[in-house]
């Protein structure tokens, strides 16, 4: 209690100190705040701190009472026998394991649908028959026989014969002519005489260069030009007369009439006739059953003391034997290294679950070792 009072006083003083600092800072930043507002704010925060200290004190009191009650109960009832294994033997190790609940499976024939009957309606049956009926009575009509004509062809002059003057244009031809472009001449050129043909004379200059007087032949150019081959003229052309074959119709037989008898018209009509009237049949429906599998709990899950493998027996040789046995049943995929790791414990637990044996997170039940025909 003295400690709680000390904590309360310390909290109040700390709150006042913080609030004083805040008030000083507030006075520096805002000159508009009044002394009454600062005091009210300090009192509110002190009240909050005291309420929190009261709540913590109440929680501590309840915890002390619960601890005292538990101590009194344990001292009055003596030692709990569930905390120790019954009839332990020297050299054996035990652990409280969760024994899973056991279930029994049974089958039962259950009525799903009671027997009943259904009414089946057999509809009436009909057949379709054909009947010949008069659609249109016999009559007569006058038919006009059109006149008959014959098509004849006649040659008709369309355009008489005539003449016309036609101009015959001049014809031209292309001739070539060789024209002199540059006459023959002699010219001094630098270089030895062997470099030119038709050398007339050679000289050496003061600088030692060889000059050759060379004949340059005349240059000609071939020019094409168009000349009149035959001058333009005229000629008279006779245009023959034009004729065309015209088809004309000539009357062979004038139009006439005749009486045509129109026979009566009959048609086939489909009629539906009743063969048998509608009726109803009552059909019995038997009851239907199904086999239901029921799973009932025989024993509930509970905690029991069971013998487990002692740590002293979990040496490398024994763990290798366990890993080999689990690997043969495809329950362990790790190396055979003699180390009790998560994979080895997982494989042992999988084997225990499949054989309804105790399962533990950090131990291996002795019954698992016995089921695997191992001797530790």
pTM of the model: 0.31
Q: Give DSSP secondary structure letters for 15-48.
A: HHHHHHHHHHHHHHH-TT--HHHHHHHHHHHHHH
Segments forming the whole domain that contains residue 316:
95-103+301-371
Q: Which residues contact 231 (CB under 8 A, 6 or more apart)?
A: 170
Question: 83 — phi, psi (to 5°)?
Answer: -80, -5
- Residues in the chain predicted with pLDDT less than 70, given as ranges, are 1-34, 52, 55-82, 98, 100
User: ∠ CA(45), CA(49), CA(55), 5° rounding?
Assistant: 145
Domain count, the chain: 2
Q: Which residues contact 245 (CB under 8 A, 6 or more apart)?
A: 153, 154, 155, 156
Does residue 365 belong to any structural domain of this protein?
yes
Q: Kindly give the pairing relationship between strand 162-168 and strand 233-239.
A: antiparallel
Does residue 33 belong to any structural domain of this protein?
yes
Residues 9 and 48 in one domain: yes
Residues 321 and 359 in one domain: yes
Whole-number Å distance between alpha carbons of 60 and 67: 11
Which of 295, 308, 305 lies closest to 340, judged by CA? 308
C-alpha distances in Å from residue 296, one per residue of 17, 101, 267, 331, 335: 70, 10, 81, 30, 41
Does residue 336 belong to any structural domain of this protein?
yes
Residues 99 and 51 in one domain: no
Does residue 359 belong to any structural domain of this protein?
yes
195-208 pLDDT, tens digit each: 878 878 888 878 87
Whole-number Å distance between alpha carbons of 86 and 74: 20
Which of 77, 112, 134 terminates a domain? The answer is: 77
Query: What is residue 52's predicted lDDT score, i.e. its pLDDT?
Result: 66
Residues 51 and 99 in one domain: no
Q: Give DSSP secondary structure letters for 195-221.
A: GSSSEEEEEE-TTS-EEEEEEE--EEE
Residues 320 and 352 in one domain: yes
Q: Give DSSP secondary structure letters for 270-322.
A: EEEEEEE--EEEEEEE--EEEEEEEEEEEE--EEEEEEE--GGG--HHHHHHH
Does residue 341 belong to any structural domain of this protein?
yes
Does residue 82 belong to any structural domain of this protein?
no
271-329 pLDDT, tens digit each: 888 888 988 888 888 988 888 888 888 888 777 888 888 888 889 999 999 999 999 99
44-69 per-residue burial string, b: 16 or more CB within 10 A, e: under 16: ebeeebeeebeeeeeeeeeeeeeeee
């Amino acid at each position: 209690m003295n400690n709680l009072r000390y904590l309360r006083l310390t909290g109040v003083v700390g709150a006042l100190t913080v609030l004083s600092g805040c008030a000083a800072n507030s006075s520096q930043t805002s000159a508009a705040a009044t002394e009454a507002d600062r005091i009210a704010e300090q009192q509110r925060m002190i009240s909050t701190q005291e309420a929190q200290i009261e709540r913590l004190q109440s929680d501590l009191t309840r915890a002390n009472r619960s601890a005292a009650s538990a101590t009194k109960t344990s001292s009055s009832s003596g030692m709990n026998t569930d905390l120790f294994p019954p009839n332990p033997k020297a050299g054996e190790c035990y652990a409280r394991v969760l024994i899973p609940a056991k279930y029994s499976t049974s089958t039962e024939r259950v009525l799903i649908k009671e027997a009943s009957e259904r009414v089946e309606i057999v509809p009436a049956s009909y057949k379709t028959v054909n009947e010949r009926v008069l659609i249109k009575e016999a009559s007569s009509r006058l038919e006009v026989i059109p006149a008959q004509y014959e098509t004849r062809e006649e040659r008709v002059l369309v355009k008489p014969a005539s003449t016309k003057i036609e101009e015959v244009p001049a014809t031209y031809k292309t001739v070539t002519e060789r024209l002199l472009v540059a006459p023959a001449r002699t010219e001094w050129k630098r270089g030895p005489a062997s470099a030119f043909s038709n050398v007339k004379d050679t000289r050496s200059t003061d600088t030692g260069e060889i000059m050759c007087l060379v004949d340059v032949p005349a240059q000609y150019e071939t020019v094409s030009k168009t000349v009149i081959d035959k001058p333009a003229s005229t000629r008279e052309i006779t245009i023959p007369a034009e004729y065309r074959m015209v088809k004309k119709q000539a009357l062979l037989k004038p139009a006439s009439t005749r009486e045509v008898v129109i026979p009566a018209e009959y048609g086939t009509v489909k009629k539906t006739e009743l063969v048998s009237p509608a009726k109803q049949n009552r059909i019995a429906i038997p009851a239907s059953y199904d086999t239901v599998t029921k799973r009932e709990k025989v024993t509930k899950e509970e905690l029991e003391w069971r013998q487990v493998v002692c740590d002293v027996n979990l040496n490398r040789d024994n763990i290798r034997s366990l890993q080999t046995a689990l690997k043969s049943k495809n329950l362990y995929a790790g190396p055979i290294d003699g180390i009790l790791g998560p994979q080895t414990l997982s494989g042992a637990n999988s084997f225990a679950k499949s054989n309804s044996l105790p399962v533990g997170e950090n131990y291996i039940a002795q019954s698992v070792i016995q089921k695997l025909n191992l001797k530790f």
